[in-house]
Amino acid sequence: MTNKTEKIIRLSVSYLILLIAAIIVIYPLLWVLGSSFNPGQSLSGSTMFPENPTFKHYKSLFDTETSNYVLWYLNSMKISLITMVFAVLSVAVTGYAFSRYRFIGRKNGLLTFLVLQMIPNFAALIAIFVLAQRTELLDTHAGLILIYVGGQIPMNTWLMKGYLDTIPKELDESARMDGAGHLRIFWQIIMPLSKPIIAVVALFSFIAPFGDFILARIMLRSEEKFTMGVGLYELVSKQFGNEFTTFAAGSVLIAIPITILFLSFQKYFISGLTAGGTKG
């Protein structure tokens, strides 16, 4: 077998694998999108390309007399944006501290973060519920935001630290020789150079609460405080499972802010992930 033939075979196999992966990812998305335009409420008769597409499911979501979807959407946006801001600030500070300073307990702290990111959130649901109840944060957005921000710190701190390790420390030393303090170095030198990893952390911190159901279902009780995940679930369950196409329409709209955010951060996203994983 010649090198040219071997290269063609490898290229063909690579494209075949990519095609199969694309089908696995795209097919469910197209099916949900098609279901959102199908008439009726049952998914049993839904098709990927409906013969008589309709927008009535989208209209019903925005009908304030029959659904609180707009309120749930705004709640999710508020929680996700606030979580994103506080998570980025927290992770930037902790990542900078672990990357630039040597202090007692540094290695143990990093090891603790590594262990914490391996523990799924639902493993601590009972403890979270009891703690929220005792601190009177149950059924509040503030309590949910605190949980989301805390959950973002361990994994994203490792990403942030890994990226900051790639920034030469000579820049810090030069700035100190010019009279710059720690805070000025952090805000005016390190953070502008960390835009790629900040974009990655911001995207992760926005997506996690925006699409979450389990924690929101445990924490929230009042309908006016529901997020989209909980609200859509209640919308379907209270109708004996007869509004799945409306659920599909709501799911499609959930993807819009995430898509916009990803496209906005796309130029930073790849470099942030790759550089963040080069050093530990």
**pLDDT tens-digit profile of 112-149?**
888 877 777 677 888 888 989 999 999 999 999 999 99
pLDDT of residue 238: 66
**Most confidently predicted of 106-110, 142-146, 251-255, 260-264:** 142-146
pLDDT of residue 276: 47
Question: 271 versus 20: which is more confidently predicted?
Answer: 20
Residue 25 pLDDT > 80: yes
Q: For residue 226, is it left (φ>0), alpha (ψ between -120 and 50) or beta?
A: beta
The domains located in the chain, with CATH, are 3-56 (no CATH), 67-276 (1.10.3720.10)
Average pLDDT over residues 12-39: 86
pLDDT of residue 43: 62
pLDDT of residue 253: 86
**pLDDT tens-digit profile of 178-201?**
888 888 888 888 888 888 889 889
Residue 214 pLDDT > 80: yes
Of 82-91, 133-142, 197-206, 260-269, the range with the lowest mean pLDDT is 260-269
pLDDT of residue 84: 94
d(CA 26, CA 32): 10
Residue 279 pLDDT > 70: no
d(CA 262, CA 264): 5
pLDDT-derived band at 77 (thresholds 50, 70, 90) equals very high
d(CA 18, CA 10): 12
d(CA 243, CA 29): 18
Average pLDDT over residues 30-34: 82
Write a three-state SS string for the chain.
Answer: CCHHHHHHHHHHHHHHHHHHHHHHHHHHHHHHHHHHCCCCCCCCCCCCCCCCCCCHHHHHHCCCCCCCHHHHHHHHHHHHHHHHHHHHHHHHHHHHHHHHCCCCCHHHHHHHHHHHCCCCHHHHHHHHHHHHHHCCCCCCHHHHHHHHHHHHHHHHHHHHHHHHCCCCCHHHHHHHHCCCCHHHHHHHHHHHHCHHHHHHHHHHHHHHHHCCCHHHHHHCCCHHHCCHHHHHHHHHHCCCCCCHHHHHHHHHHHHHHHHHHHHHHHHHHHHHHHHHCCCC
pLDDT-derived band at 242 (thresholds 50, 70, 90) equals low
pLDDT of residue 270: 65
pLDDT of residue 47: 64
Question: 269 versus 107: which is more confidently predicted?
Answer: 107
Average pLDDT, the chain: 84
Residue 248 pLDDT > 50: yes
